[in-house]
Amino acid sequence: MDNDEDRDAPAAPNGVSLGPLPGFIGYALRRAQLVIFDDFIRTLETVDLRPAYFSTLIIIDENPGLNQSEVSAALGVQRTNFVTMVDHLEKRNLIERRPSKKDRRSYALHLTEEGRTLLDKARQLQAEHEARFARKLGPNGREQLLPLLWKLVE
Amino acid sequence: MDNDEDRDAPAAPNGVSLGPLPGFIGYALRRAQLVIFDDFIRTLETVDLRPAYFSTLIIIDENPGLNQSEVSAALGVQRTNFVTMVDHLEKRNLIERRPSKKDRRSYALHLTEEGRTLLDKARQLQAEHEARFARKLGPNGREQLLPLLWKLVE
DNA sequence: TATTGTTATACTCTATAACTATA
DNA sequence: TATAGTTATAGAGTATAACAATA
């Protein structure tokens, strides 16, 4: 009885055996995530947006007026670490903190016009990146992969 | 025509819209990887092995006598950052640096007896972790997921 | 000249505690 | 009392440059 579950895993360099690692979900996930993040970062280099910052702009664009706690919770980032990200995006004039009318402790986050323009450009680059990996996955590969990944998160 | 590719994605808290994010491979990969690493770390808490350290022990066990450059290359870790990991594992008496007979610049890495014992325990815990997520994926889910992930890496 | 292991360093990401101003 | 934003801080992980010993 042969164990062929990792038949398609790339071989390690120099004939080093990876043993059971390529058959482990976590190991495969991590290697795939590193490859795709590396491509994402280089693809969006011209707009200088790393994955977390891109996601932040998407969320704010989809839900204008949310406060920092709400956006950071949606992203799975702690609000304490989110402050630096908002500072950075605001310094680049991509988003703005507007004083909330309802609650004077919080800010309503909105994209600036410059932010919307940059996000449009970023979306185009991201689409190229996405298509590149969808092609790697073959016909229906992406449609099979996504539900499996979300089952892991549930 | 409806876009249902992210039908199985968990909803964001508080009715916040994630927009197109759940349909992006990189976003789904990252969220899944965080969940699985979190479970891995807690499952292997009693042996105090994080994913990179577990993988390191596996590689050394599979290929005893490799030097640091070879192991770090197999893991995709830079040899400069690998030094700290070897220091740590050696301090815990799980591996040893033996002077290489062929090349006096390098060390041959080997598991200690204590390292083998701990790795056996770690493998059992990892198997529980793996089974937990295989169950989440449903019948044949794992067998579908792994080749898809490795296609992304190719 | 090139390579192995190493140190120093820096940047990103992540995690916790504690403060302030509001609620 | 509790919450929103913030600061300080510390730990991982990751990246580059440079050095001594050896090839």
* Distance, Å, B83 CA → D12 C1': 15
Residues 6+ apart with CB under 8 A from A59: A66, A71, A74, A75, B16, B17, B18, B19, B21
Residues 6+ apart with CB under 8 A from A88: A53
Residues 6+ apart with CB under 8 A from B102: none
User: B25-154 has which fold?
Assistant: Arc Repressor Mutant, subunit A (1.10.10)
Given a cut of 50, whether residue B146 has pLDDT beyond it is: yes
Single out the residue of A56, A66, A63 nearest to residue A102, CA to CA.
A66
Given a cut of 60, whether residue B10 has pLDDT beyond it is: yes
pLDDT attached to residue B11: 77
* Residues pairing with B107 in the sheet: B99
Higher pLDDT, A13 or B72: B72
pLDDT digits (tens, 9 = 90+) for B26-36: 999 999 999 99
Protein-contacted bases of chain C (C-beta within 7 A): 3-8, 12-18, 21-23
How high does pLDDT run on average in chain B? 94
Around B50, how many Cα atoms within 13 Å sit in the side-chain half-sphere? 5
pLDDT attached to residue B153: 96
Single out the residue of B30, B10, B12 nearest to residue A74, CA to CA.
B12
Around A112, how many Cα atoms within 13 Å sit in the side-chain half-sphere? 14
Contact check, Cβ <8 Å, B31/A144:
no
CATH value of A50-153 in 2.170.130.10, 3.40.630.30, 1.10.10.10, 1.10.3300.10: 1.10.10.10
Contact check, Cβ <8 Å, B29/A28:
no
